[in-house]
A and B are shown apart, each in its own frame.
Chain A
């Protein structure tokens, strides 16, 4: 069920009312488990069984890891968990992709092989809940978490409906401790949760779907050459769309969790005000970047290795990060581009970090602008359906089609310009702060007006239940 649907409005109202009406903490947790499975099953009921089976397996494997005597045995159980989770992800998400590439590879050496097309339906949110579940066994193996005795609590930690299908990736170690005793709502927590949900929906329905997605779709779907202005505006529209879409979902998830008394960490922290790419990844999809950092980058040696090895590690991590987003080479190129950005940044930092001019305002602004531009270039591969489209877009962006078509209407151009300018302004003004501080500093009438305006805009837009982009991952 989508956050931006009437079904969710009714579902959430019923769950919240029942949740706070029940006294027993155990009964409340049971309710949340049932609600989470209803939420997930509302897409495709059989996939709820898949969700349950991986959760139950990881619960059992977690206990085996904790009970295992020697390091070798612990590792064997962990490998079991990793293989189980990743093979499931591999089958559902990468099955056809792997077959197609295998076929291509065989064709290169002259073997004609026609693989059967697997009619695999991708379970929604599989990339997210696989990581929720996997974090549990990984943390037990790393000795930073002891296994929970309650299967019900673990099921809830993996399937908690606000974050189940599109993140943030909430680690079991962050969620299980919140299930120990009933949460006490702090003053204003419920209303703040509602305001965050309104903000998230506003970002998704009004800013992403209404103001930007149409232009981005038109530019990326146009089969002819485009002039530089339209190409750049199309990419900027997508840069804004994907931020508002995904950050909107995360904000809704955080708000919904708050209404139920749970605390989820930020998943975005004003990423388009990033100065450099390491800064960008501290601000964009934080739950994924920290996951990859802790469970992949650091075990590979992190930055405690020789520079060349460190750079290779970065590229490997970003390659896999790209592949996580989708079974297509365009996503891989997107990941590799970010990997190379990080390597180049590391070199530049090494050369100029101690220079005085490196930290002055003009340099920081230039670096911020360059970061945004480079991130936009990488988005081309993320959004393009194939490399032909990506190449056409890049040619357009760099002046390769001076006599190309200019298809955007003035209204679309204004919408992209205004929303992008507003977004970047807000990101820069809050880059070292957070939204909570901003709300506290604003006069209450502005908070009231902004909340009412967002709610009215959502109602006026009506929404047509467009799926969130990250559902496909």
Chain B
């Protein structure tokens, strides 16, 4: 706070060098005349503005050209508002896909529509935990449709406070609190994102470019794991398709992504500030709680006549070795199926679903996803007793 009002007045009056005092006639509202006029720097504004506009157009065009030349193409960003748009399309009897990116890439909406007689709504999210979406649908009194839920065990039981959980929770929250302005922004952003390649959040932003700088770190610095680069496109229905470059057998891009999955799917070391036993105990409790919550949500859904089927989608290569070692079927998968009493389809146990190749070890190519969906539909119908 000012120590004296006179000081304050003196300071406030400093810019009055630039002021022009208004005439007496302006004192209509009474009180002191409004003396404040912001100073306007006298520089050649028109010339400066024209040059700025030209520089920005040139720079943006060059950046777009550069992004396209290194393989990027236009695609929608999978943000909370796009998800909210999809969530708003859910009708009481809809078929809804939830889960992680495997449900995103591996399911073809056209094939599912043919099989179910209605177009499914894609609510799966890359790198996310499905539980908050399952709970949201279970708590939605109007919803009594069908849920196809992908399970990647590490993501499915991700405890509260972890990135996969936070991402989904934030997104579900947005669907309940979205403002009209956010909705309009999404509608305005989509046509741009569908045409401009560099508008790729989470990869081509300044923040992401800075993260790629090869700067050595201190020994114990917490470096966030690297996420895979652009390898798929997303449309307005949130259907993801792997790009050709990644789907090509033995492509450099696919090989690079394969190496990114391994650290991403490797369990991180426990934090240094909690004893290991205590941490493991806490994690165990959190996972137990998750099993309980999932069973409760499924029960709530079924009580209203809703249906759910859990699906384990194809994965391969070194990632399969890692996942099968860390999270074998007998662990989380069997427990979820047992606790919920819901049907499950584990791709490996169905010969017609088994032989697909995942170019980057985790997802099917766009072409294979159509065939896979076609073969999956009869199993889904049978599991759901349709």
The residues of A with any CB-CB pair to B shorter than 8 Å are: 1-2, 5-8, 10, 41-45, 139, 144-148, 173-174, 176-178, 180-181, 186-189, 191-192, 194, 206, 210, 214, 218, 223-225, 254, 258, 263-265, 278, 281-282, 289-290, 292-293, 297-298, 302-303, 314, 317-318, 342, 346, 349, 405-411, 414-415, 434, 436-437, 439-440, 444, 447-448, 451-452, 455-457, 459-462, 464-465
Question: Min CB distance, B270 to chain A, in Å?
Answer: 11
Q: Which residues of A have CB within 8 Å of B330?
A: none
Nearest Cβ on chain A to B86's Cβ, whole angstroms: 19
Binary CB contact string for chain B from 1 to 21 against chain A (1 if under 8 A, 0 otherwise): 111110110011011001000
Chain B 160-203 interface 0/1 with A at a Cβ cutoff of 8 Å (1 = within): 00000000000000000001111011001100100000110100
Q: List 18 A-B contacts (CB under 8 A).
A: A43-B181, A146-B31, A177-B29, A187-B42, A206-B206, A210-B206, A224-B273, A265-B36, A289-B1, A290-B8, A405-B273, A410-B217, A411-B211, A415-B210, A434-B15, A444-B44, A452-B51, A460-B204
User: CB-CB < 8 A to A186: which residues of B?
Assistant: 40
Residue of A nearest to B200 (CB): A462
Q: Which residues of the other chain, B, contact A176 by a CB distance below 8 angstroms?
A: 29
B1 touches A410 (CB 8 A): no
Complex contacts, A462 vs chain B, CB 8 Å: 199, 201, 204-205
- Inter-subunit contact A293/B2 (CB<8 Å): yes
- A434–B14 Cα distance when bound, in Å, is 10
B45 proximal to A (CB < 8 A) = yes
Contact residues in A for B46 (Cβ distance below 8 Å): 191
Given A43-B179, A223-B271, the answer on whether A278 and B41 have CB atoms closer than 8 Å is no
Pick from A210, A434, A437: contact of B207, CB below 8 A: A210
Task: Give, as a whole number of angstroms, the nearest-CB distance from A16 to chain B.
Answer: 15
Cross-chain contact of B215 among A6, A7, A346, A414 (Cβ < 8 A): A414
Whether B2 pairs with A45 at a CB distance below 8 angstroms is: no
Give A465 to B55 CA distance when docked, in angstroms. 25
Q: Does B325 contact A (CB under 8 A)?
A: no
Whether the pair A188, B271 counts as a contact (CB closer than 8 A) is no
Residues of B near any A CB (own CB < 8 A) = 1-5, 7-8, 11-12, 14-15, 18, 22, 26-34, 36-49, 51-52, 55-56, 59-60, 63, 79, 179-182, 184-185, 188-189, 192, 198-199, 201, 204-207, 209-211, 213, 215-218, 220-223, 271-274
Which chain B positions have C-beta within 8 A of A194? 49
**Bound complex: CA of A1 vs CA of B211, how far in Å?**
30
Beyond known contacts A42-B184, A411-B211, A460-B204: 14 more, CB 8 A cutoff: A6-B192, A41-B180, A146-B30, A177-B31, A192-B40, A210-B210, A223-B271, A303-B3, A406-B221, A410-B216, A410-B218, A437-B41, A440-B43, A457-B206
Contact of B42 among A188, A318, A410, A452 (CB under 8 A): A188
Query: Given A293-B8, A440-B41, A462-B201, is A224 in contact with B272 using a C-beta cutoff of 8 Å?
Result: yes
B3 touches A436 (CB 8 A): no
User: Are the CB atoms of A303 and B4 closer together than 8 Å?
Assistant: yes
CA distance A129 to B130 in the complex (A): 41
Partner of A452, one of B5, B52, B192: B52
- B3, B26, B27, B79: most-surrounded residue (chain A CB, <10 A): B3
Q: Is the CB of B39 within 8 A of A444?
A: no
> Is there contact, CB below 8 Å, between B38 and A258?
yes
- With A411-B215, A415-B210 known to touch, is A448 a contact of B52 (CB < 8 Å)? yes
- Does B206 contact A278, Cβ atoms closer than 8 Å? no
Q: Is the CB of A173 within 8 A of B31?
A: yes
**CB closest chain-A residue, reference B37:** A263
Contacts A1-B181, A254-B38: A145 and B49 contacting too (C-beta < 8 A)?
no
Q: Which residues of A contact B223 (CB under 8 A)?
A: 409
Contact yes or no, A188 B45, CB < 8 A: yes
Nearest to B179 among chain A residues (CB) is A43
Chain A residues, Cβ within 8 Å of B215: 409-411, 414
How close is A1's CB to chain B, nearest CB, in angstroms? 4
Contact B28 A452 (CB under 8 A): no
Nearest Cβ distance between residue A225 and chain B, in whole angstroms? 6
Q: Distance (Å) between the CB of B170 and the closest chain A CB? A: 12
User: Quick check: A444 and B26 within 8 Å, CB to CB?
Assistant: no
Judging by beta carbons under 8 Å apart, are B45 and A192 in contact? Answer: yes
Contact A191 B38 (CB under 8 A): no
**Interfacial chain A residues near B184, Cβ < 8 Å:** 6-7, 10, 42
A180 with B28, Cβ < 8 A, contacts A278-B3, A452-B59, A456-B60 known:
yes
Q: Which of A144, A278, A436 contacts B38 (CB 8 A)?
A: A436
Q: Which of B2, B198, B210 has the most CB of A within 10 A?
A: B2
Q: How far is the CA of A366 from the CA of B56 in the complex (A)?
A: 42
Complex Cα gap A44–B183 (Å) = 12
Q: Distance in Å from the Cβ of A152 to the closest Cβ of chain B?
A: 13
Nearest to B19 among chain A residues (CB) is A263
**Of the residues A210, A223, A318, contact of B1 by C-beta under 8 Å:** A318
CB neighbours of A254 from chain B (8 A): 38
Task: Tell me, rounded to whole Å, the shortest Cβ–Cβ distance linking A417 to chain B.
Answer: 13
Taking a contact as CB atoms under 8 Å apart, the answer to whether A444 and B43 are in contact is yes
Q: With the chains together, A440 CA to B59 CA distance in Å? A: 26
Chain A residues whose CB sits within 8 angstroms of the CB of B44 once the complex forms: 444
**Which residues does chain B contribute within 8 Å of A444, judged by CB atoms?**
43-44, 47-48
Residues of B within 8 A of A147 (CB): 30
Q: What CA separation (Å) do A332 and B27 show in the bound complex?
A: 40
Report if A460-B188 is in contact (Cβ < 8 Å); known contacts: A191-B48, A318-B1: no
If A42-B179, A42-B184, A145-B29 touch, whether A297 touches B201 (CB-CB below 8 Å) is no
**Which residues of B sit under 8 angstroms from A177, Cβ to Cβ?**
22, 26-29, 31, 33-34
Residues of B within 8 A of A41 (CB): 180
| Residue in A6, A303, A342, A415 whose beta carbon sits within 8 Å of that of B189 in the complex | A6
Q: Which residues of A contact B36 (CB under 8 A)?
A: 174, 263, 265
Whether the pair A460, B37 counts as a contact (CB closer than 8 A) is: no
Residues from chain A with a CB closer than 8 A to the CB of B38 are: 254, 258, 263-264, 436
**Chain A residues, Cβ within 8 Å of B211:** 411
Closest residue on chain A to residue B193 by CB atoms: A462
Residue from A145, A265, A460 in contact with B63 in the complex, judged by beta carbons closer than 8 Å: A460
Tell me the smallest distance from the CB of B219 to a CB of chain A, in Å.
8
**Nearest-CB residue, chain A, relative to B33:** A177
Are A293 and B5 interface neighbours, CB within 8 A?
Answer: yes
Q: Name the distance in Å between A228's Cβ and chain B's nearest Cβ.
A: 14
Which residue on B lies nearest to A190, using beta carbons? Answer: B45
Q: How far apart sit A259 and B27, CA to CA, in the bound complex (Å)?
A: 24
Contacts of B59 in A (CB 8 A): 452, 456
> Are B41 and A192 in contact, with the CB atoms below 8 A?
yes
B210 touches A411 (CB 8 A): yes
Shortest CB–CB separation between residue B11 and chain A, in angstroms? 6
Per the bound structure, the CA–CA distance linking A377 and B33 in Å amounts to 41
**Residues of chain B lying within 8 A (CB to CB) of residue A214:** 207
Bound-state Cα–Cα, A346 to B204, Å: 51
CB–CB B179/A44 < 8 A: yes
Would you give the shortest CB distance from A150 to chain B, in whole angstroms? 9
